[in-house]
Structure formats: structure tokens, C-alpha cells
Structure 1
Amino acid sequence: MPRFLSMIRNDENNHPAGGPSDALMEGMGKLIEEMTEAGVMLETGGLLPTSKSARVGQRGGQIAVTDGPFTETKEVVGGYMILRADDLAQAVEWSRKFIELHEPEWEIACEVREIVGA
């Protein structure tokens, strides 16, 4: 069965004051439990802000390391889910359920991609 990476993207400079609500955290816990019991959720996690990260890149054969935050980046990967699903449509459906948990003040998206060779 294929595996998928659902990259949870958000604008880390535009989170609701006070962070996630208790209702959102409770809903996420229930959804993660449901996904785990269904055999879909393989792994999930949140990521620290870009201010505590680094970017390693190559251009013209030169390696460069840039410490965060990355001011030119509006939308960042703030978390991830690794899912086991029958197909892309099923992985998208689970990601949609995750997005639906968030209150309207959250600007959030999931990019869902199949993992090669999974």
C-alpha cells in the first residue's frame, strides 16, 4: 500500500493569538487516534519555527547554509503526517479532515505527495 507525505503548510507569522485552542487540540487528538486505529497514520509531528532552523543549499557548485528565520518565505512547512492509503484520493481525504478541524482564523494547507518506492 502506498505511503504519502502530507506537508502541513502555514504562515508562521500569522497564527491566532494564543496558538491552537483547546478544542482544536482535542479534535486533533481524536483524529490522530482514528487515523492510527484505521492503519492510516504512520507518523506525525510539528516543526519548530524557522527562527530555530537552517537552510542548506547549492548554487553553482557552492554550498551555502542560511540560518532562519527566512524572511522571504511566507508559507512554511509547520508539520507533517506520513500516511498509508490506498491512493492519493484517500490521503487527500484524511488531510482534508485535518484541515477542517482548524478554526477559520487559521491559514493552513496540506500538500499531499506520494513517497517514491513506498
Structure 2
Amino acid sequence: MRFMIMVKASPDTEAGAMPEEGLIAAMAEYHEALARAGVLLDASGLKPSAQGWRVRYDGERRSVVDGPFAEAKELIAGYTLIRVGSREEALDWALRFPNPAVDGGAAEIEVRPLYELEDFEPGDAIERFRELGVGAVQA
């Protein structure tokens, strides 16, 4: 089972504040533990939403909306992607995640399972994704 641990953005992360050495060290230690356990798939921080954009759909029509976006608490500042055997194992790892707040204060992470190809009805389109090597459970 794959899970994404999402670090919620804050006014600090949206302003581009970089974490101090202590937080970077705590994050490195945590991710090293994930790697040693063989469950780390990927992890990265995201630059502020001012450097991004959204694509809005209205039927077949698309429009681009440049950042920044309001409500920092609804944005994602970073993520860690893990593959574990159960929801309980994912919860255990999530509880060990260092406080991601730049100032050491209030922060929030969100953890959600990813869909696996096995969650969908078999079909040609699902097989196309399987051939791409995405969304599949891999040993």
C-alpha cells in the first residue's frame, strides 16, 4: 500500500522561508529511517504557489491561473511517498514525522492512501497504465 504524507503549507512556506539546519537535519534523519526500512519511495518540498499555476477545466476548455493562491493552509508545501504493508504502519511512520513548521510552531501533515491499479476494474486502459509502470504495486 502506498501512502502520501503531505506537509501543509503555511504563510512562511508560501513566503519562501527556508528551514533552518535543525529542521533539515530532523527531516534527513526521518527519511534515512524510512529508506533503511525500505519503505521510502520519494520525498520533496514544493516551491511557493507564486511560482506555480493551475489549469481550470470547463468541459473541453482550459484556462491557466497563475499563483500565488489564497489560503496557504489548503496548499501543500512538500510530500513523502511511502510503501508499507498496512494503514497502521503508515500511521506509525506519520506519527514519527518531524514537526515541519519553519518556526517550530503549529503545523499539520495529511496522510492519504494512493489508489493502486488493482483498485480499478480490469480493462485495456488500466493495462496501459500497468505497461507504463505507474500506479502498480511493486515489490
Structure ID, larger Rg: 2
TM-score by length of 2: 0.70
TM-score by length of 1: 0.80
Aligned-residue offset at 1:101: 6.5
Query: By percentage of residues, which structure has more strand?
Result: 1
Distance change in 2, residues 1:101/1:14 (3 Å): closer
The CA RMSD over aligned residues, in Å, is 2.5
Contact 1:8 1:108 in 2 (8 A): yes
Q: Extract unaligned runs of 5+ from structure 1.
A: none
Q: Percent identity, aligned pairs only? A: 27
Alignment pair present for 1:42 and 2:46: no
State the structure with bigger RCO (CA 8 A, min sep 6), 1 or 2: 1
Contact 1:6 1:80 in 2 (8 A): yes
Q: Report what 1:69 is aligned to.
A: 68
Query: By percentage of residues, which structure has more helix?
Result: 2
Q: Extract unaligned runs of 5+ from structure 2.
A: 118-136
Distance change in 2, residues 1:3/1:72 (3 Å): closer
Q: Which moved more, 1:58-67 or 1:46-55?
A: 58-67
* Total equivalences in the alignment: 116
